[in-house]
Amino acid sequence: MRTGLIMWQRLGIRTQLIVLVGLLLTLVAALVLGLTYWLDVRDRQTMAIEQAATLHRALSQDLLKALIDPGVEGHADLSFRLAGFRPLDGLVLWDSAHEPVYHYQREDVDAAALTRSQINTPVKAPGNAAPAIGRGHLSLCEPLAAGGARFGSACYALDLTRYHTGLRQRLISLSMLYAVALSVALAMAFWIGGLYTRPFTALASTMRSNDPRANRYRLMQTRARNEVGALYTGYNAMIDQIVRATDELRYLSRHDTLTGLLNRFGFDQTLEHCLGATGAAEQRVDVTISHVLVQIDLDLFKLVNDSAGQLAGDFLLKQVAQLCRDHWPAPAALARIGGDEFFALLPDCDEDRARRETWELLERIGELRFRWEQSAFDITASAGLVAFSPYEYRRDDLIAAANSALKQAQMRGHHQLHCHRADAERQRRESAERFAASAIKEALRAGPARFELFAQPIVPLESPESVSKGFSTSTNNYEILLRLRTGNGELMSPGLFLPAAERYQLMSAIDQYVFAAFFDAMEQHPAHLDALGFASINLSGSTLTHPDFQAWFGEVLSQRDFPWYKLVVEVTETTAVGNLPQASDFISRCRAAGVRVALDDFGTGLSSFEYLKSLPFDRIKIDGSFIRDMLTDPVDYETVRYIHQIARLRDQRTIAEFVETEAQLAALSAIGVDYGQGYLLGRPRPLVELFDEGSPA
């Protein structure tokens, strides 16, 4: 019953309507046919009874004669007359002593059928016996009387099938009518079903086309004033509430609830755009434009809060926010990050103009005489500003520079302004990055600087005996790491040349080099490849969206003869989330070819588990920040355990990074983490050393 109900619920409304109409019409047709047959039987019975009574009246004298004077000649004459009445199958005359005197049976009639009929039982009670029906015969007995005396009775057996009432023709006509009616009804049901389900289909299509991320929804229009109109009205009202609630939530997520200015999240997004870190795919960023970031801090705000209370402090912040809003209208971006810290982003503005406008704002704040109840306060503010161009800073570095300028201003006292100048440390860092970029370009051109592939083991944790033996005897899995050796033979730190590669947009060329070098090395050492379990190679975010790399990697997948199941491509969580459509497409292409995909640094980004459900990763690498403190921080321990449990439910393998102590190793093994990677299990080594040893690990 439950299975049938589930199957019925899976049918569409139109299909359900067609089935119900068909069943209903079939039931009605069956009832009509049954009623027609029953009425036909009644008609046959009535005809038989009437004809039997007529026959009895016509032959009553002959039957009395045959009963009183039972002679052969009289019986023969009577049989001859009875043979002319075809529905009569048999007749029996009974005398007053209930003994049979005369018996008639049609030649083509089954004697057994007549034996089972009522004609072989005389009527003993006065009056007529009730007719009996059985096996297509109607049996009834009539008394024979004359002059008030009863001489016996005559029992008749009539064949009901010999009465022609046109039943067959009626049944054929009704069947044909049923077929036509069923066809018309099903066609009408199909049309009416489509007519009535069209509003629901349109509503479902509209709901699928809605884009909640962009807060774009379509409304439904109808002239109906029935249930469909009520449904559409309810849907439109719900969408209106969703849009307003989403707009409100988006506003709250980007704005400070106290002042109405941007909060940290909203300001960071605006700042990233001016820095060129976002929106590059939609529009080109003019690197010649100068912007200015201003940070403002109220000098004695804590005094107001402590003396007059938090409510007074909040009121003061609102007044300062309004001053900033009046002084710097759009397109300037204003924000309150926390406490009494205000930021202003002045787009397309030079330093001199920003300095002048900021000083004017400080003067206006200094003119503010803040009164609260019986207290009055003189308000002053200090500011630090940084002029920058797109790609010149990272966001955190730019905010740090503004904060440094503000501190320099505050060191000189209240109501001060300071402009940031690049310090020697930053100049040295930029010089080092330029040197690193030059070395990267030399390495890509094969000299004199060069890249070297290193390998760090990824050890299965379910075999402690192999783990304790270290790198050379562990299972043959490792991650490919890149090192840069300068022209003088010194290794350059990845922490220096990788940021330089990102800044100078060289990561795509580097990633392509790593993949190509690895494939060539495996082709030159087939025995090593045969013994290899898997090798992981990290892919940067800029490479994931680079069309040239995508085309090159797709060609490699289709043309190179390689056991792709031994290759694992690692994509960082921030890369996957920030480039979700490209990441999803790339992962699908890799998995279609047999390449496995790992999510690297899992747990450090936003909405981790949401995207873990939407992207089909094979392996999850738990970020080392959780492993490092998991023995001292219960939250980190539970996070590692929870990530592993979620991955296990999705049939994904887990890899723990930064395994550096035996205690960490024991804890990870107890949790059930599949693989470990870290200095305890093996330090990175040149890949060529593994070739010389004859085995990958």
| CA separation for the pair 620, 652 (Å, rounded) | 7
Clarify whether residues 519 and 385 are in a common domain: no
Task: Encode pLDDT of 231-249 as tens digits.
Answer: 889 989 998 898 888 888 8
Residue 368 structural domain: 262-421
Give yes or no for residue 373 having a pLDDT over 60: yes
Residue 13, pLDDT above cutoff 50: yes
Which of 25-34, 359-368, 419-428, 620-629 bottoms out in mean pLDDT, i.e. has the lowest? 419-428
430 is a domain residue: no
Give CA–CA dist 79/43, Å, rounded.
28
For residue 59, give the CATH number of its domain.
3.30.450
Does some domain include residue 208? Answer: no
Count of domains forming the chain: 4
Q: Are residues 619 and 664 in the same domain?
A: yes
Same domain, 95 and 233: no
| Tokens encoding 676 | 């470990």
Asked if residue 104 lies in contact with residue 120, where contact means CB atoms within 8 angstroms, the answer is no
Give the pLDDT of residue 274: 84
Q: What is the mean pLDDT of residues 185-214?
A: 84
pTM of the model: 0.44
Domain shared by 546 and 643, yes or no: yes
Q: Do 494 and 572 sit in the same domain of this protein?
A: yes
User: Which residue from 440, 455, 450, 436 is spatially nearest to 489, judged by alpha carbons?
Assistant: 450
Q: Are residues 523 and 564 in the same domain?
A: yes
The candidate with the shortest Cα–Cα distance to 317, out of 292, 296, 293, is 296
Share of the chain residues as helix, strand and coil, in percent rounded to the nearest 5: 55, 20, 25
Residue 22 is assigned to a structural domain of this protein: yes
The CATH number of whichever domain residue 352 belongs to comes to 3.30.70.270
Task: Give the pair of three-digit tokens for residue 466.
Answer: 């192999």
Domain match, 300 and 380 both: yes
Which CATH number is 612's domain given?
A: 3.20.20.450
Last residue of a domain, one of 125, 145, 162: 162
β-sheet with 88-95: strand ranges across: 100-105, 88-95, 149-159, 137-146, 132-134
Q: Would you call 452 helix, strand, or coil by DSSP?
A: strand
**Residue type at position 342:** F
647: amino acid identity, one letter: A
**303/383 same-domain check:** yes
From the number of C-beta atoms within 10 Å of its C-beta (0-12, 13-18, 19+), residue 298 rates as: buried
Between 145 and 343, the more confident residue is 343
**38 inside domain:** yes
Residues 391 and 278 in one domain: yes
Cα(587)–Cα(396) distance, rounded to whole angstroms?
Answer: 31
Torsion sign over Cα 272, 275, 279, 281: negative
Cα 345 to chain centroid distance, Å, stands at: 40
Does any domain span residue 641? yes
Q: What percent of the chain has pLDDT over 70?
A: 88
Lowest-confidence segment of 160-174, 403-417, 500-514, 657-671 by average pLDDT: 160-174
pLDDT digits (tens, 9 = 90+) for 290-322: 899 999 999 888 888 888 888 988 999 999 999
DSSP string for residues in 303-334: HHHHHH-HHHHHHHHHHHHHHHHHHS-TTSEE
Are residues 246 and 280 located together in one domain of the fold? no
Q: Is residue 78 part of a domain?
A: yes
Closest of 158, 137, 152, 160 to residue 60, by C-alpha: 152
Same domain membership, residue 543 and residue 640: yes
Residue 569, in any domain of the structure: yes
Question: Phi-psi region for residue 171, left (φ > 0), alpha (ψ -120 to 50) or beta?
Answer: alpha
Residue 606 pLDDT:
44
pLDDT for position 475 = 64
**Is residue 439 assigned to a domain?**
no
Do residue 287 and residue 228 come from a single domain?
no
d(CA 538, CA 544): 11
